[in-house]
Amino acid sequence: MPVNGPVPWKRADHTGAKHDIYRRYLQRWFPILLGGSNAYPSATYAEGFAGPGVYLDDHPGSPVIAVQAMLDKVPESDAIVKMIFVDDDQRCIESLRHQLTTRFPQRPRTPDAFRLKLAHGTCTETLEPSLDAMHAWGQPILAVLDSWGNVPVTFDLLARLAHNQSSEVIITLGTQPFIRFVSTMGQEADDVFGGDPTWRHIDTMASAQAKRQHILTCYRQTLSTAGFKYLLDFELVDTRGESLYLVFGTNHRRGLEKMKDSLWEVDRIYGVGFRDPRDEQAETLFELTDPALAPLGRLLLNRLEDAPATGCRVEELREFTLFETVYRPQHVIRTLNQLRANGLIASDEPGLYRRSRVRLAS
């Protein structure tokens, strides 16, 4: 990773898959908020770690993907689109400016209908004042906070976003910096977790998986305390086994559903697998053509262990799956049928439907 290295740099395997998720989500987000008769007067897309807008081999960076998604999906609308791109490397800002002007030579909207701000500075010091200056608050904001994984983002900004109208965050979390430097990292690392040092308990944990999971749990707690009601996190694993987490925070069920749809449609050509961080066996989900449902099966069995002896309704398990796992509700009945065929769960009904009850087999 080029901290003070050359700009631009080679696109990592994870990044292609991550961009595919951004693209698919933005192609849904822009029209929901800015298209149609229920459109908001304005919405803001903001990046705190924008990068140079391009990679070696000319792959577009996330700001270019965002502009393209907006143009593709809401070419015409009375709503005002605002975009803010912050980076603390001046070379990235200059490159991004060049990319945006050369890739979009015809400004498709008037400068008033499409307000663009590129700002040189750290996310901590520059993003919030830029949102203020653009009068972004009070209307939806999607903040993409794609740092090198160390997440230098203030809790106050997260809390302000969480309490702002229809606003969401997508955050890249790399657990390695925290695991490697736990003994030397100071207060700034606790600040990532809203000032709470609980993440440092990784010191006492033996396995790398347990440490990763603990950091993720602490970060989820941070976003939840900041005010995000629904969280979706998932692990992207490349062919060398290296992983990073994307954590999505929203207050809208629909946002969660759309992000899951985007995740499950992601193109397999990137060779990147996904994992549900809560799966004890850390099984990759997308290596085969069909989604691996075994991890969901384990999660559903754990859930049924906590249920009363009469079990619970399939509909409850669908809700659990939507809110507490990376799977979609549509995966539930298929998984329950497999568990039942393996004699692990039982039901009094011959077929399983949303209203059916299921319980652990005795």
Asked if residue 49 binds ligand SAM (CB under 6 A), the reply is: yes
Asked if residue 242 binds ligand SAM (CB under 6 A), the reply is: no
Piece of 86-94, 279-287, 320-328, 344-352 that binds ligand SAM (CB under 6 A):
86-94
Buried b / exposed e over 127-154, threshold 16 CB at 10 Å, is bbebbeebebbebbbbbbbbbebbbbbb
Piece of 45-53, 71-79, 199-207, 256-264 that binds ligand SAM (CB under 6 A):
45-53
| x/- track of binding to ligand SAM for residues 119-158 (CB under 6 A) | ---xx----------------------xxx---x------
Q: Residue 323 CB, nearest distance to ligand SAM (Å)?
A: 27
Alpha helices in the chain (DSSP H): 13-34, 62-73, 90-103, 123-133, 155-162, 176-180, 187-192, 208-226, 253-265, 294-305, 314-324, 332-341
Query: Cα separations (Å) of 214 from 33, 99, 197, 225?
Result: 35, 39, 12, 16
Q: Residue 55 CB, nearest distance to ligand SAM (Å)?
A: 7
Q: Which residues contact 145 (CB under 8 A, 6 or more apart)?
A: 47, 48, 49, 123, 151, 153, 169, 170, 171, 172
CB 55 within 8 A of CB 9: yes
Q: Which residues contact 154 (CB under 8 A, 6 or more apart)?
A: 124, 128, 191
Burial class (CB in 10 A: 0-12, 13-18, 19+), 350: exposed
Smaller CB separation from ligand SAM, 12 or 301: 12
Secondary structure class of 169 (helix, strand, coil): strand
Q: Residue 289 CB, nearest distance to ligand SAM (Å)?
A: 28
Smaller CB separation from ligand SAM, 35 or 149: 149
Smaller CB separation from ligand SAM, 146 or 276: 146
Q: Residue 89 CB, nearest distance to ligand SAM (Å)?
A: 4
- For residue 184, the Cα-to-chain-centroid distance in whole angstroms is 28
Give the integer Cα–Cα distance in Å for 211 and 325: 19
Q: Residue 116 CB, nearest distance to ligand SAM (Å)?
A: 16
Secondary structure class of 216 (helix, strand, coil): helix
Smaller CB separation from ligand SAM, 238 or 276: 238
CB count in 10 Å sphere of residue 106: 4
Burial class (CB in 10 A: 0-12, 13-18, 19+), 8: buried
Smaller CB separation from ligand SAM, 23 or 331: 23
Q: Which residues contact 351 (CB under 8 A, 6 or more apart)?
A: none
Asked if residue 87 binds ligand SAM (CB under 6 A), the reply is: yes
Asked if residue 86 binds ligand SAM (CB under 6 A), the reply is: yes
# chain residues binding ligand SAM, by CB under 6 A: 18
Smaller CB separation from ligand SAM, 82 or 331: 82
Smaller CB separation from ligand SAM, 89 or 190: 89
The one among 13, 89, 261, 287 contacting ligand SAM by CB under 6 A? 89
Which has the closest alpha carbon to 50: 126, 141, 111? Answer: 126
Q: Which residues contact 241 (CB under 8 A, 6 or more apart)?
A: none
The one among 16, 61, 295, 329 contacting ligand SAM by CB under 6 A? 61
Site for ligand SAM in 153-192 (CB under 6 A): none
Q: Residue 117 CB, nearest distance to ligand SAM (Å)?
A: 14
Q: Residue 30 CB, nearest distance to ligand SAM (Å)?
A: 18
Positions in the binding site for ligand SAM (CB under 6 A): 47-51, 61-62, 86-89, 92, 122-123, 146-148, 152
